[in-house]
Structure 1
Amino acid sequence: MSLFSNGVDASSRRKAFRAALASPDIARLPGAFSPLVARAIEEAGFEGVYVSGAVVAADLALPDIGLTTLTEVAGRSRQIARVTDLGVLVDADTGFGEPMSAARTVAELEDAGVAGCHLEDQVNPKRCGHLDGKEVVPVDVMVQRIRAAVSARRDPDFVICARTDAAGVEGIPSAINRAKAYLDAGADMIFTEALHSEADFRRFREAVPDAWLLANMTEFGKSDLINASVLQDIGYNAVIYPVTTLRIAMGQVELALQEIKDHGTQEGWLDRMQHRSRLYELLRYESYNMFDQDIFTYTKEQNND
């Protein structure tokens, strides 16, 4: 792997990502809120990386209500895709505008080197998929988004996933009908947002038997937290854990800050921190040192006079 980019070109990563989706084993995609987290996800042995729109917004101290821009999401996605050989799936919200904007979104994300994205059928501005009060656009409007996205795709291996939020608004039968229409429009995969129970996931799979399906196992939401092995048995092809790493990190940050404030030192947290040596491993610090020593750093010759 290059020091400043991953060792696998974008086309090969997209082919590998598609192969992971087609595999009998479910593809597990934890969310990365930074490039360093993406590298940790790869080293932990997962099949892919997810970039959550909610996490990009939260990292900017914004709520997940459609305030982030394509530039911000594509920029963070590019940073994350640069450091991992895994395929990266990106939350592209509603496509950041009208169908032509959805087309531009696909072009920008392809250029960012990611493996795919998903577009959703909420109205714009959208809301978090596990909150009440969502609204969905008419089916024909979402079909236009998908068709525009597909038309802009240059690499046929770039995955275009259609997310439907209709289950929580119009009911599961409507979500199933929408999924079929979105597949007919050219979507490669369906993201079934905010189903509640294992029975709901089974019902959706039985009604949409041939498509790739993605499950969202986010914490504190509408869905039961179903084990990946169970989702695999049901027939789901991928599962995302979109906000998990951010919630873990921020939970610990707040606790540690409170302790420093109360006790004046971080010493009690040393055994709960990532050690400097492990951070340097993830950063591949030694490889940068070797590069520097081989090419740039020099030793002035001693004067033997």
Structure 2
Amino acid sequence: MPSDAAARRIRFRDMLASGRLIVAPGAHNGLSASMIDRTGHACIYMTGSGVANGLTGKADVGLLTMTEMAMMARFVVEASGVPVIADADNGYGNAVNVIRTVREYEAAGVTALHLEDQVIPKRCGSIAGKAVVPAEEMAGKIRAATDARQDANLVIIARTDARGAVDLDDAIRRGQIYAEAGADMIFPDALLSVEEYARFAAEVPGPKVFNMGGYARKRTTPKLPLAEVAAMGYAVVLFPLASIRAGIRAEWDMLNGLRERGTEHEIEHLADLDGHPVENWYEFTGISDVRALEEKYLPEDDVAARYAGGAGHRPGDV
């Protein structure tokens, strides 16, 4: 019987083989991963930018270490039950460093991971000012990654940022080289038009990833209907920061309302949540699961005594 992580990798391989477009919303922590799973999505993308923004409060410019990213990957995997594609940045070094990166991410239980060809320090792919390593160096990192994995079903994705750093022709050339080096999928980041995405898909072999990213006011990458993305030949589409930006907007508005109106603002907010899944926050975040574990593993009399006279929200109450 395969482990849970191994089963997810087999499931993801089957999803790829089906030919149906895989949609992966971005998660930046365990709670967001849980929500993606609970709202019925079949795949999760652990967004590097979202993790960097959420943990540091700063821009995605290579501030996080491999250890921090692998830790978050573990949280994302454990909070969900669906395949997880994880951002592994540029592998946090050369091909030798990539070996440890792959092993740490694999141990965290991810289904797939992507490595990019940016220099260190890297930056968010949709932001100007990027530079890339030689294609031959990146090909060596891909070979190291595929050799390092213990589970042959762990999907190694090679991302190229060459469109922003050089030009489209170089991005296509690199995609072809990375596929030849053994990458399971190719990920062209931050292309600038429908035509560029279509040309890349036509000229680079194997399954490919489409990043529905770019979150500046002035768009730098196109937002396309999913049917059009699938028709081009892409296998996976990512929505990296869509949910975190929506959540931060709501948080921003709430905080401004509290500053301006105090408790009255939260009372109105609570009224708007009537019947919503997040209305009962303690239940939404799993306190009833904790109570069930207590009843399963702790002495029955101790659990009964703990809840008999205790005040506050009682797990299971609506």
**TM-score for the superposition, normalised by structure 1:** 0.90
**1:20/1:47 contact within 8 Å kept:** no
Equivalent in the alignment of 1:269: 269
Q: Secondary structure at the match of 2:64?
A: coil
Q: Is the 8 A contact 1:33 1:245 kept in 2?
A: no
* Range with bigger deviation, 181-190 or 216-225: 216-225
Aligned CA distance change for structure 1 residues 65 and 271 (closer, same or farther; 3 Å): same
SS at match of 2:208: strand
Corresponding position: 1:22 with 2:23? no
Q: Work out the number of aligned pairs and report it.
A: 293
Tell me which residue corresponds to 1:41.
36
> Does 2:85 correspond to 1:89?
yes
- Once the two structures are TM-superposed, the CA of residue 44 in structure 1 deviates from its matched residue by 1.7
Deviations 1:3-49 (Å, cap 9, x if unpaired)?
xxxx9611011111122222221111111122121121112221211
Matches for 1:116-265 after TM superposition, within 5 Å: 116-208=112-204, 210-218=205-213, 219-220=215-216, 221-265=219-263
C-alpha contact 1:164 1:193 (8 A) present in aligned 2: yes
SS in structure 1 of the partner of residue 27 of structure 2: coil
Report the AA paired with residue 224 of structure 2. I
What are structure 1's unaligned runs of at least 5 residues? 1-6, 301-305
Q: Who is 1:3 aligned against?
A: none
**Do residues 70 (structure 1) and 66 (structure 2) align?**
yes
Higher relative contact order structure (alpha carbons within 8 Å, sequence separation ≥ 6): 1
Distance 2:19 2:91 in 1: 30
Describe the superposition over 1:39-95 as per-residue Cα deviations: whole angstroms up to 9, x where unpaired: 211122212111111111111223211110011000010011012121111111110
Structure 2 counterpart of 1:292:
294
Q: Deviations over 1:90-136 (max 9, x none)?
A: 11111011211111100000000011110101111112111111111
Aligned to 1:56: 51
Within the candidate set 99, 102, 107, 2:103 is matched to 107
Name the stretch that deviates more: 249-258 or 39-48. 39-48
Q: Which moved more, 1:36-45 or 1:111-120?
A: 36-45
Distance between the aligned counterparts of 2:164 and 2:226, measured in 1? 22
Structure 2: distance between partners of 1:272 and 1:31: 26
Give the aligned residue type for 1:194.
A
RMSD of aligned Cα (Å): 1.9
Give % identity: 36
Give how far 1:284 is off: 4.1
Show CA shifts across 1:190-243 (max 9, x none): 1110112222211111112x4110011113352111122211121110011111
- The one-letter amino acid of 1:30's match is P
Please state how far the C-alpha of 1:278 moved relative to its aligned partner.
5.3
Q: Distance in 1 between matches of 2:96 and 2:82?
A: 29
Q: Any conservation in 2 of the 1:8–1:85 contact (CA below 8 Å)?
A: no
| Cα distance between partner residues in 2 of 1:278 and 1:14 | 34
Rounded to whole Å, the distance in 1 between the matches of 2:250 and 2:287 is 25
CA contact (8 A) 1:215 1:238 kept: yes
Q: 2:268 is aligned with what amino acid? A: G
Letter in 2 for 1:238: V
SS of the counterpart of 2:90?
coil
Q: Provide the rounded CA distance (Å) in 1 between the counterparts of 2:280 and 2:117.
A: 42
Match of 1:84, SS state, is coil
Question: 1:279 deviation in Å?
Answer: 4.0
1:286 CA drift (Å): 3.0
TM-score by length of structure 2 reads 0.87
Q: Is the 8 A contact 1:118 1:161 kept in 2?
A: yes
Secondary structure in structure 2 of the residue aligned to 1:181: helix
CA distance in 2, matches of 1:34, 1:81: 10
Secondary structure at 1:31's aligned position in 2?
strand
Cα distance in structure 2, aligned partners of 1:8 and 1:154: 13
Matching residue of 1:11: 6
Is the Cα–Cα contact under 8 Å of residues 77 and 114 in structure 1 kept in the other structure? Answer: yes
Partners in 1 of 2:39 and 2:226 — Cα distance?
16
Q: Which amino acid aligns with 1:56?
A: V
The secondary structure found in structure 1 opposite 2:58 is: coil
1: CA distance, partners of 2:246 / 2:234: 26
